[in-house]
Structure 1
Amino acid sequence: MTLKVPLRPRRSIAPALIAVFALVLGLATPAAAEPAPTAPPNEGGTPTVVTLRANLEAAAAGFIEAENQLNASKAKQAEYEAQLRSAEAEMARVRGGVAKYATEAYKTGRLGVISMMLSSSTTDAFLDRARAIDMMTQRDQGSLNTYLAAKKNATDSKIAIEAQIAEQAAATAEMQKRKTAAEKALAAAGGTATRTNVDWATLPTARPAPRNSDGTWPSETCSEDDPTPADGCITPRTLYMLNETHRLGWNWYVSCYRPGDKYEHPKGRACDWAAYPTGFVDKSAKDANKVYGDRLAEFFAKNASALGVMYVVWYCQIWQVGVGWHRYNSTGSKCGDSPAGDHTNHVHVSIY
C-alpha cells in the first residue's frame, strides 16, 4: 500500500517569498545607507557673518580688479620694452651712416660741393656729379631721419615704461589695501589664520578660464543656463569653473543658482558642492566625505587665479584670495552645530 503525502496549498509559498524579498530589500533602505538629501543649504548666519561676507566680497573683488590692472600694466610694459629694444637696434644700425654724413658735411660744406661740381670739364660730367650728389644727400638725409625717428621712439617708450611702473606700484598698493581690509574683517569675526592639510602637488591644475587680451577678466552677467538642478542662470566664468571641476573628477551633487538668497548665488557667481554624492545631507561630512570636501576646497584655492575664485568656504574655514585660510564660525559656538551654515556638509565657491 502506497502512502500519499498531502501537498501544501500553493498559496502558502507567496508569504514566504514576500518575506525573503522584504529581508533582501530591507538591507538597501535609506536607514542603512546614506541619509536622505536635503534642500540647498541655507547659508544665512548671524548679522556679523552677513557683514563679514559682504566685506570679504568687496575686498576680494577689489583685490582681483587691482591684480587685473597689475597684469595689464605688466603686459603693456613688455610691449613698450620690445619697442624700446627695436628703436635702440635701429639707432645702432644707422648711427654709422649718420656719423659719416656729419663728418663729410663738416669737411666739405656747401662751397666744397659746389667747387667739386664746377670743376667738371663738360656739361654731362657736371650733371652726372649733380645727380650723384643729390642721391647721396637723399640717402644720408634718409638715414638721419631714420635715426631721429628711432631716437624719438626710444624716448617715448622709456616714458611709457616709467608710467607703467608707476601704475603697477599703485595697483600693488591697492592689492595690499584690500588684503589688509580682508584680514581686519576676518579678525573682527574671530577668523584666525589656519593651515591647509592637503598637499597642492597632489591636486590637478585647471585650464585657465578665458581672459581679455591684456590679461584682465571680462565683465560678465548671469547669462548662461545653470546646468545643475538649481535651474537658474550663471555667468560664463562660473559655467567654465563648473565644467572644468567636473572634468577633473569632482562629480558629486552640486547646485549653483539660488534666487532671493544673499551673497553671490542670485548673481550666478557661486556654487555649492555637496560632500555627499546624491545631495545636501544635514550632517557634517566625515571620513571619505570630508576628504572629498578637503581636496575640492583646496583645488579651488590652488586654481583661484586660473578660475577667477574670490573665496571658498568649507568646514568652518574660509579661503580668501590674497589672505589664505581663516577660521569661519557662522552659526554656533561649535563647528558643525549647523552643517549648512558652518559649511561642514558642502563646499561653497564664489567666482569673480
Structure 2
Amino acid sequence: MVLLATLALLASLLSPLPAAADPSDDSGEASTAGLQAKLDEAGRAYNAAAKALQTAQAQQTAGAAQIKTLQAQLATLTKQLDTIAVNLYVNGRTGGLGAVMNSGSPEAYLAQASILNRLSYQNDTAIDRFLSTKAALTRQQSALNQAIAAQQAQLAIMAKRKTDAVNALVAAGGGAAVDGLSATGLPRAARSGPRGDGCSEKDPTNPSGCLTPAGLHMYQEVRAAGFSHYAHCFRQASFGEHPKGRACDFAAAVSDFGGEATGAEKDYGNRLAAWAIANAGPLDVLYVIWFKRIWMPSTGWRSYSGDGTPSGDHRNHVHISVN
C-alpha cells in the first residue's frame, strides 16, 4: 500500500503542468459565451444606430443649407413681385380700346400695349417662381424635421444599447469605467474597408477557416501597420465572432499566446489595442478586449472579467471583433 501511494505521488509530480489556455480553441473564452452574445447584439445595434445618426446629421446639415438658399431666393422673388405690382398700378390694366383712346398715336398705343404685355408676362413668371420656390421650401423644412426626428430616435437607441452593454459587463463581474491606454507613436491610420457578413474570404491564419470581407480587411490592416506577432482568427465554436469570421486574436508574444504579457510584450499589446481603437471607424470595430478591459464605441474602456486564465482574461492577446 505504501509503495502504491508513493508511485501515485511520483506520477502526480511528474505529470506535465496544464498548458495555458489557447484562444485558438474554446478554453479561453467559453466561460464568457453568454456575455459575448449580449455584447455582439448591443454593439452591432449601437454601431448601426451611430451610422444612421451620421446620415441624419448630414441630411440635416444639407437641408439647413438648402433652406437658407431657398429663403434667399424667396426674398428676391418677393421684391420682384412688389416691383411688378407697382408698375401695374402705375400703368394700369387697361384694355385694348382704352389703350387706343388714351394714346396720342398708333406708335404710342403699340408702346403702351407692349409694356402691358411685358408686365403681364413678368408677373405670371414671377408668381410661378415664387409659388414653386415656396413649395420647395415647405418640402425642405419637412425633410429637415424628419431628419431631426431620426436623429432623436437613433440617439435613444444608442443610449439604450450602451446601457445594455454595460449591464451585461456588470452581470459578468466587470463593467466599471477604466482609464484608456497610453500609447505614443502609433502607426498610420487604416483605410476604410469593405462591409458584409458572409464568411467568404480565406483566413491567412487558418487554412481551414474563413473571414468576412471586413474581418480580412481588419487583419490585413493590422499587419500593414507593423503588428507582426502571432495571430489566430477563425475557429470552430458555438459562440462569439470567431466562427463567423469577424474576429482575430493577436498575441502579445512573437510566436504563440503563452502566459501573461509583461514588459515589451505588454507594450506591444497596448499599442495594438490603442491603434485599433484609433481606427475603429475605418476598421468597423465592434469591440476590443485586452488585459481584463474591453473597449466598445458605445462605452469606452470598461473592466472585463474572464475565467482567470491569461487567455480568458485576455492578458496574453488582443481580441478585435468587427461588425
TM-score (norm 2): 0.84
1:167: Cα distance to partner?
1.1
The one-letter amino acid paired with 1:52 is: L
Q: Partner residue of 2:15?
A: none
1:240: Cα distance to partner?
2.1
Q: Partner residue of 2:264?
A: 288
Q: Please state if 1:259 is matched with 2:259.
A: no
User: Structure 1, unaligned stretches of length 5 or more?
Assistant: 1-34, 212-217, 333-337
Whether the aligned pair in 1 keeps the contact of 2:231 and 2:248 (CA below 8 Å) is: yes
1:230: Cα distance to partner?
4.8
Quick one: distance in 2 between partners of 1:93 and 1:181? 53
Quick one: distance in 1 between partners of 2:298 and 2:188? 19
Q: Please state if 1:250 is matched with 2:221.
A: no
SS in 2 for 1:110: coil
Q: Partner residue of 1:119?
A: 102
TM-superposition CA deviations, 1:109-153 (whole Å, max 9, x none): 423786345433555654454344223321232122222222222
Match of 1:74 among 42, 50, 57: 57
Closer, same or farther in 2 for the Cα pair 1:285/1:210, shift >3 Å? closer
Q: Please state if 1:110 is matched with 2:81.
A: no
Q: Partner residue of 2:319?
A: 348
Closer, same or farther in 2 for the Cα pair 1:231/1:121, shift >3 Å? farther
The one-letter amino acid paired with 2:36 is: R
Pairwise mapping of residues 1-352 of structure 1 onto structure 2 (< 5 A)?
40-42=24-26, 43-46=28-31, 49-111=32-94, 115-123=98-106, 126-196=109-179, 198-199=181-182, 202-204=185-187, 206-210=189-193, 218-281=195-258, 283-332=259-308, 338-352=309-323
Quick one: distance in 2 between partners of 1:286 and 1:200? 15
Quick one: distance in 1 between partners of 2:23 and 2:279? 28
Whether the aligned pair in 1 keeps the contact of 2:77 and 2:126 (CA below 8 Å) is: yes
1:323: Cα distance to partner?
0.9
Whether the aligned pair in 2 keeps the contact of 1:45 and 1:330 (CA below 8 Å) is: no
Quick one: distance in 1 between partners of 2:89 and 2:113? 19
The one-letter amino acid paired with 1:225 is: K
Closer, same or farther in 2 for the Cα pair 1:252/1:304, shift >3 Å? same
Quick one: distance in 1 between partners of 2:97 and 2:57? 55
The one-letter amino acid paired with 2:130 is: Y
User: Structure 2, unaligned stretches of length 5 or more?
Assistant: 1-18
Whether the aligned pair in 2 keeps the contact of 1:37 and 1:278 (CA below 8 Å) is: no
Quick one: distance in 2 between partners of 1:205 and 1:146? 52
SS in 2 for 1:111: coil
Q: Percent identity?
A: 35
Closer, same or farther in 2 for the Cα pair 1:342/1:239, shift >3 Å? same
RMSD: 2.7
Quick one: distance in 2 between partners of 1:204 and 1:323? 24
Whether the aligned pair in 2 keeps the contact of 1:192 and 1:326 (CA below 8 Å) is: yes
Quick one: distance in 2 between partners of 1:312 and 1:58? 15
Give aligned pairs, total.
304
1:295: Cα distance to partner?
1.6
Q: Partner residue of 2:11?
A: none
TM-score (norm 1): 0.77
1:103: Cα distance to partner?
2.3
Quick one: distance in 2 between partners of 1:268 and 1:233? 6
Quick one: distance in 2 between partners of 1:220 and 1:76? 27
Closer, same or farther in 2 for the Cα pair 1:39/1:91, shift >3 Å? closer
